[in-house]
Structure 1
């Protein structure tokens, strides 16, 4: 007689915890490599390294890589896709699966990215170079801080697995606006933008990456906000009216922008 596996058994919960922990560790390695990939530090391959190919081919490959990452990152975050994924992946592992596939998409980008080494700008003064370098690291610091101000481990799927291991019921999302979230609605995205654009030596390849990822960030933020309005309702609509999306703006400018889109 075949016995159905208990999805809440000790073995199942342990397997889920190992899976989510592995996904989280892969993410950490990937984000650390991304810092080196964009900044050209430590890692063996970065935005401007590697054999050169004809620029039309290089630009095409790079654009396809950005589009592939953007589509995966946006589609998997939608509620309809999560419902579909629930037929194959336990709810507690859904976020970890999203994080894992996003990490794999970034790894593919690292591997296949083609350098375009034409210089767009080169900052010469030492003070300006130092300033842009500091901004680069401050951008990554803001990325890390933005995740810690909300729920870092929940954002990357580890908390869900820990709760399942402990047999703790999943809690409903809570709307909070700690610290930087009172300045912009998405400080995480602001940190990425600073890190992607702050460089004393901007090459064509780096510029393509920065432009492509900037476009994705604003498109992704648009879809994310639609989901947040559905989740939190009028409370999030008021938040949108009071605080700018990504770039810090005065409240009067935020209100004017909202009226333009209405």
Structure 2
């Protein structure tokens, strides 16, 4: 019964995490005005900016703390280890929904090429390409392990959990973190860039960069020289930017 409950918990966490990603994508797409981050400004500029900084900091701190091995080991002393990843996904999803829902509009227009069909459609193609790269990359790693379902499923089937192997193929041949690259492309490729959208893109891109540095330290500890050799050959976040 306990194992069934853990698997059910992981399914609920997965659905919340996946929904939060869709909500995030739609919020920056400007395709559904009701949930767009580009709403009319309500707070004075400086207060809105501070609020947005706090939301990004909260989101980033949660990811950085809960993704570390020290936290995972501490978690396992109190709760079943198989639900650790699902708990990370659940809290991340709830905080991402909070980040998007509470993002304070700032007003102001940086660029708008939506009236130029060629540029408008080209940028939307890049936008959806970025998010497609993010989702495809999650399956290249192991989508269900990344979202915590594999861990509780193996426990349900009374099978031991085996860590994922280090493999370099597909997008990973060109960039070490295609998940983050896809997110960055999705955030910046927009026909209408407002100050609201710009600060959102800057804030989350900064988180991607900082989070990547922490993640790389863990990967070096786990895979050693194998990962160090990979670092030397492959760009971190933007493909084809690694100097030979």
- Taking structure 1 as the reference length, the TM-score comes to 0.89
Q: Secondary structure at the match of 1:115?
A: coil
Q: Secondary structure at the match of 1:87?
A: helix
- Report whether the alignment pairs 1:220 with 2:218: no
Q: Secondary structure at the match of 1:86?
A: helix
Q: Kindly name which structure, 1 or 2, has the bigger radius of gyration based on alpha carbons.
A: 1
Unaligned runs of 5+ in 2: none
CA contact (8 A) 1:33 1:43 kept: no
Return closer, same or farther for 1:107/1:50 CA change in 2, 3 Å cut-off.
Answer: farther
Pairs aligned (count): 243
Give the equivalent residue in structure 2 for 1:99. 89
Give the equivalent residue in structure 1 for 2:51. 61
C-alpha distance in 1 between matches for 2:81 and 2:221: 20
Moved >4 Å (runs of 4+): none
Give the equivalent residue in structure 1 for 2:237. 246
- Report whether the alignment pairs 1:41 with 2:31: yes
C-alpha distance in 2 between matches for 1:173 and 1:126: 44
C-alpha distance in 1 between matches for 2:241 and 2:43: 45
Q: 1:125 Cα shift?
A: 2.1
C-alpha distance in 2 between matches for 1:141 and 1:90: 33
Q: Secondary structure at the match of 1:116?
A: coil
Superposition RMSD in Å: 1.3
Give the equivalent residue in structure 2 for 1:237. 228
CA contact (8 A) 1:38 1:46 kept: yes
- Report whether the alignment pairs 1:145 with 2:136: yes
- Report whether the alignment pairs 1:21 with 2:11: yes
